[in-house]
């Protein structure tokens, strides 16, 4: 959404709005004489209102929404021509003037345009028309114009993040394929539990990213309804072809209810909710990387240009980039809460509180998410997994305890719960005796079994098989397991899903391009008869 007091340059977090420094006292400053825009009020906004609210809003919209406003105005021009309210020449002249508008062409002027981008654009074009075009902007409202520009902006942000997530997922899948055969300890309750691989862990990350992509696609499709033609709140009086206008702006369809079109900013809450959920998931995966990068583990290493140092302890190599990533994920949930609270307890109508204030930090939320994803992409691309350190822990820990209990039941006929007890007693006695997990101490296993009146046929074979590091992966048989072949199968399916999602996003981007092309065809090329005055500046 669009902040009233957003800074000109988006930042990772909330900032105070810029202030003018040339005004000493603003509370008593009377509004300047304003150009007549409605006849309802006699003056323009005060300096205070201009400085605190309107000017920052204007700068934000010129920087981030101007292109959307111009695209909407072109679509409207094409519709006026279709309804024969503008001649083809008039429509082309308006379009040519719109094409000339760049960020530097519009200025927030309380006296000329009430520091409003829609009024500024209208007056900029009107001042340059070679002859009056009386029907231009008849039956129009700023409400649906603004809602449409904001939705197009939000749609653009969703696509931008989705593109970054596609890149991250591609890198994750590639690294998962490289590392699906490297044994490493997996942890439950912060304790070494079973043998897995980095590839297995990264495949889990890929699954989360694909899930987020599907949800973002659903969010995009939900917001891809065009508000244009809703008017102020009740619809419009001219027979606007809303389906055609929606298509020209790359939307799937028009928003069917005019009130919803101008009152709802649900898309901003839904989109930021997905950012918050993504942040929560990424923080958990990054916590694993932080753990693995600690000196007690040493499972991973990042290159020097992604690392930091201690100013006091020269032996340290720190990974603050991981702390940055995890820290940033916290903001994403906060941004969603901000949007949600900004919309609650408001009437369901066009409202500045919802359309602007409630969305103050939406761009910041998307910028933060985008930057976080980019950082994580580079980390995953360049992280090195230390196979020796990971295997050493797998060799040192009794990670085959579950396999030993299984083998006691399946090959020796020991009841399952008894097998668990026998295996546990063996591990305790072996650890106390300083016996390494592999090949183990068959006598200790025989003694643990004898305590339950059990005689084992081949305790040495049971131990050698259960605590063999490579067998710990090879014996896994079910789909979705950490077995390297199962991971490879999962990665192939994930790659197919990724390509399908990439195609789906491309299809939606193509619809926006096709709509712009249709608008251009409808308006036709400008000819010599459509020449206009080249003046600059507001009137």
Q: Which residues contact 133 (CB under 8 A, 6 or more apart)?
A: 86, 90, 93, 94
DSSP calls for 212-237: HHHHHHHHHHHH-EE-TT-TTTT--S
Give the chain's largest Cα–Cα span: 106
Q: What is the DSSP letter of 103?
A: T
Q: Tell me what pLDDT residue 532 has.
A: 39
Give the Cβ contact number of residue 256 at 10 Å. Answer: 10
Helix boundaries (H) for 305-452: 320-343, 352-355, 362-382, 387-396, 401-412, 416-433, 442-450
Q: Where are the domains of the chain?
A: 45-137, 142-385+485-521, 397-473
Q: Tell me what pLDDT residue 358 has.
A: 87
Are the beta carbons of 372 and 335 closer than 8 angstroms? no
Of the candidate ranges 10-19, 311-320, 413-422, 525-534, the one whose mean pLDDT is the lowest: 10-19
23 pLDDT band, cuts 50/70/90, is very low
Residue 479 has pLDDT above 80, yes or no: yes
Q: Which residues of 382-397 are buried (b: 16+ CB within 10 A; e: fewer)?
A: ebebbeebbbebbbeb
Q: What is the pLDDT of residues 363-418, one digit of tens each?
A: 999 999 999 999 999 999 999 999 999 999 999 999 999 999 999 999 999 999 99
Tell me the C-alpha distance between 513 and 71, whole Å: 11
CATH top class, domain 142-385+485-521: mainly alpha
Q: Which residues contact 190 (CB under 8 A, 6 or more apart)?
A: none
331 pLDDT band, cuts 50/70/90, is very high
* In CATH, 397-473 is 1.10.3470: no
Q: Tell me what pLDDT residue 515 has.
A: 96
Helix boundaries (H) for 249-356: 258-263, 266-292, 320-343, 352-355
Are the beta carbons of 169 and 209 closer than 8 angstroms? yes
Are the beta carbons of 117 and 145 closer than 8 angstroms? no
Residue 539 has pLDDT above 50, yes or no: no
Q: Tell me what pLDDT residue 283 has.
A: 97
20 versus 214: which is more confidently predicted?
Answer: 214
17 pLDDT band, cuts 50/70/90, is very low
- Helices and strands per DSSP (H, E), number in the chain: 21, 8
113 pLDDT band, cuts 50/70/90, is confident
46 pLDDT band, cuts 50/70/90, is confident
Dihedrals phi, psi of 52, to nearest 5 degrees: -85, -30
270 pLDDT band, cuts 50/70/90, is very high
- Are β-strands 253-254 and 225-226 bridged in parallel, bridged antiparallel, or unpaired? parallel
pTM confidence score: 0.88
């Amino acid at each position: 959404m669009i902040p009233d007091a957003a800074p000109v340059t988006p930042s990772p977090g909330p900032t105070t709005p810029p202030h003018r420094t040339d005004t000493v006292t603003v509370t008593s400053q009377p509004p300047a004489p304003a150009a007549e825009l409605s006849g309802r009020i006699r003056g323009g906004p005060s300096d205070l209102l201009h400085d605190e609210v309107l000017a920052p809003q204007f700068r934000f919209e010129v920087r981030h929404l101007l292109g959307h406003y111009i695209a909407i105005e072109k679509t409207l021009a094409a519709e006026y021509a279709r309804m024969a309210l503008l001649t083809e020449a008039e429509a082309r002249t308006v379009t040519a003037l719109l094409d000339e508008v760049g960020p530097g062409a519009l200025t927030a002027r309380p006296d000329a345009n009430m520091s409003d981008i829609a009024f500024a654009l209208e007056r900029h074009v009107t001042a340059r028309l070679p002859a009056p075009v009386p029907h231009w902007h008849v039956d129009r409202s700023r409400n649906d114009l603004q809602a449409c520009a904001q939705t197009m902006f939000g749609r653009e942000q969703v696509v931008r993040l989705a593109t970054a997530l596609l890149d991250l997922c591609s890198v994750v899948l590639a690294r998962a394929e490289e590392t699906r055969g490297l044994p490493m300890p997996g942890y439950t309750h912060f304790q070494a539990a079973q043998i897995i691989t980095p590839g297995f862990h990264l495949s889990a990350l890929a699954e989360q990213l694909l899930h987020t992509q599907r949800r973002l696609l659903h969010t995009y499709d939900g917001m891809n309804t065009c508000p244009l033609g809703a008017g102020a709140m009740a619809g419009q009086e001219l027979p606007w072809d809303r389906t055609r206008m929606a298509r020209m702006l790359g939307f799937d369809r028009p928003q069917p209810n005019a009130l919803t079109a101008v009152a709802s900013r649900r898309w901003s809450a839904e989109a930021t909710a997905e950012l918050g959920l993504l942040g929560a998931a990424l923080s958990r995966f990054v916590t694993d990387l932080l753990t693995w990068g600690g000196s007690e583990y040493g499972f991973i290493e990042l290159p020097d240009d992604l690392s930091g140092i201690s100013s006091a302890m020269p032996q340290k190599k720190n990974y603050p980039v991981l702390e940055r990533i995890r820290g940033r994920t916290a903001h994403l949930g906060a941004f969603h809460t901000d949007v949600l609270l900004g919309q609650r307890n408001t009437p369901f109508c066009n409202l500045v509180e919802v359309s602007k204030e409630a969305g103050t930090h939406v761009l910041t939320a998307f910028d933060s998410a985008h930057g976080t994803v980019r950082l994580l992409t580079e980390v995953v691309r360049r992280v090195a997994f230390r196979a020796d350190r990971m295997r050493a822990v797998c060799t040192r820990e009794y990670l085959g305890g579950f396999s030993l209990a299984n083998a006691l039941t399946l090959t020796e006929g020991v009841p399952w719960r008894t097998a668990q007890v026998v295996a546990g007693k063996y591990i305790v006695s072996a650890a106390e005796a300083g016996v390494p997990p592999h090949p183990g101490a068959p006598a200790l296993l025989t003694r643990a079994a004898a305590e339950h009146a059990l005689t084992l046929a081949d305790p040495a074979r049971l131990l050698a098989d259960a605590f063999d590091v490579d067998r710990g992966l090879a014996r896994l048989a079910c789909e979705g397991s950490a077995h390297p072949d199962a991971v490879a199968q999962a990665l192939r399916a994930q790659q197919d899903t990724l390509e399908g999602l990439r195609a789906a996003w491309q299809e939606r981007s193509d619809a926006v391009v096709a709509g712009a092309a249709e608008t251009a065809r409808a308006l036709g090329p400008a000819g010599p008869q459509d020449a206009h005055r080249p003046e600059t500046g507001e009137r």
